[in-house]
Amino acid sequence: MLEIDELAINYDQVEAVRKVSIAVGAGEMVALIGANGAGKTTVLHSVMGLLKPKAGTIRLKGENIVGAPSKRILDLGVALVPEGRQLFGHLSVLENLEVGYARKFGIRFDRAGFEGRVAKIDAYFPRIRERLKQTSGTLSGGEQQMVAIARALMSDPDILLLDEPSLGLSPIMMDTVLDLLVQLHGEGMAILLVEQNARAALRISERAYVLDSGVTTLNGRARALLRDPRVQQAYLGL
């Protein structure tokens, strides 16, 4: 599905990512863990076409997407739930979903297609169903995270990238969000989960990568990494 190979990215003169290789298979849930500043968000942004890598390749369903515009990458079936949710806070929940659905620049809106899409994902989001008309900026943090995920799902992706989805949420809300990811994964969605909460991410993922100073240093089965002393010491506080 997604293959990142020997990726290197510079911000001006600073090497943000030096050597990153990550693969996510179809329907697979993969975690990417690492300290602040390790380059996790940079990797996600390069997949979405926001950053031009200095070296390396990013393949999506076999197609090299380095240099492709974000719109093309969405068309190929990738969606990102960004860090901090990044909702359009002055727009209603419904409008946030509409903007996520209608990527084409035009006057016409495929209302039937939109409603069909909403009906498909509706069951995952019982809490936001009654809040469609509400201004999204007035929702609670957990509800906003749900809307951010729902908005990303509007493009009907095959792989969902999530950047710190549990950040700033209460423990209960965090569990709800992680349960939702498990549910989506259970129905065949490939997921690349970037999380500061390494323990939670490793528990629900099949495989994981550890990113340290812009290099993927460790990778393997998530359960094995949970028991790895290097991971325990650096990321699990044991």
Partner 1 sequence: MELDIFLQQLLNGLTIGVGYALVAGGLAAIFGIMRIVNFAHGEFFMIGGYALYYAMAVLGLPYFAAGPLAVLAVVAVGYLVQRLTIEPLMEADPLNTLLVTFALSLFIFHSVVVVAGSSGRNIDTPFEDVITLGNVILTEQKLFVMLGGLLILGALAVFLAYTPIGKQMRATAENRYAATILGIDVRRVDRFTFGLGIGLAAVAGVLIAPITPLVPAVGASYTLKAFAVIVLGGMGSIPGAIIAGTGLGLVEALTAGYLSSAWKDGVAFVVLITVLLTRPTGLLGKGGAH
Give the burial string for 55-73 (b: 16+ CB within 10 Å, else e): ebebebeeeebeebeeeeb
Q: How far is the CB of 224 from partner 1 (least distance, A)?
A: 32
87 counts as binding partner 1 under rule CB under 8 A:
yes
Q: How far apart are CA 15 and CA 132, in angstroms?
A: 42
Residue placing its CB nearer to partner 1 in the complex, 149 or 208: 149
26 binds partner 1 (CB under 8 A): no
Closest approach, Cβ 200 to partner 1, in A, equals: 24
Nearer to partner 1, 90 or 133 (CB): 90
Near partner 1 by CB under 8 A, which window of 14-22, 24-32, 72-80, 179-187? 72-80
- Count residues binding partner 1 (CB under 8 A): 33
Using CB under 8 A as the binding rule, whether residue 221 contacts partner 1 is answered as: no
Q: Is 158 in the site for partner 1 (CB under 8 A)?
A: no
Which is nearest to 149 in space by CA: 139, 160, 138, 159? 160
| Angle between helical axes of 93-101 and 111-121 (0-180°, round to 10) | 110
CA–CA dist 61, 234 (Å, integer): 34
Sequence-ordered list of residues with C-beta below 8 angstroms from that of 25, at least 6 positions apart, any chain: 1, 190
Instruction: Measure the CA dihedral 47/81/161/156, to 10°.
Output: -100
Among 91, 121, 180, 204, the residue binding partner 1 under the rule CB under 8 A is 91
Least distance in Å: CB of 132 to partner 1?
14
Which part of the chain contacts partner 1 (CB under 8 A), choosing from 31-39, 91-99, 199-207, 221-229?
Answer: 91-99
Q: Should residue 237 be labelled a site residue for partner 1 when binding is judged by CB under 8 A? A: no
- Work out which of 54, 63, 109, 183 binds partner 1, going by CB under 8 A: 109
Contact between 98 and partner 1 (CB under 8 A)?
yes
Answer for the pair 22, 32: CB distance below 8 angstroms, yes or no.
yes
Q: How far apart are CA 213 and CA 38, in angstroms?
A: 5
**Options 10, 70, 176, 196; binder of partner 1; rule CB under 8 A:** 70
Rounding to the nearest 10 degrees, give the CA dihedral for residues 227, 233, 236, 238.
90
Pairing of strands 159-163, 55-60: unpaired
Angle at 62 between CA 60 and CA 63, to 5 degrees: 70
Q: Which of 14, 105, 112, 119 contacts partner 1 by CB under 8 A?
A: 105
Binding site for partner 1 (CB under 8 A): 48, 50, 69-71, 73-75, 80, 82, 86-91, 95-96, 98-100, 102-109, 137, 151-152, 155
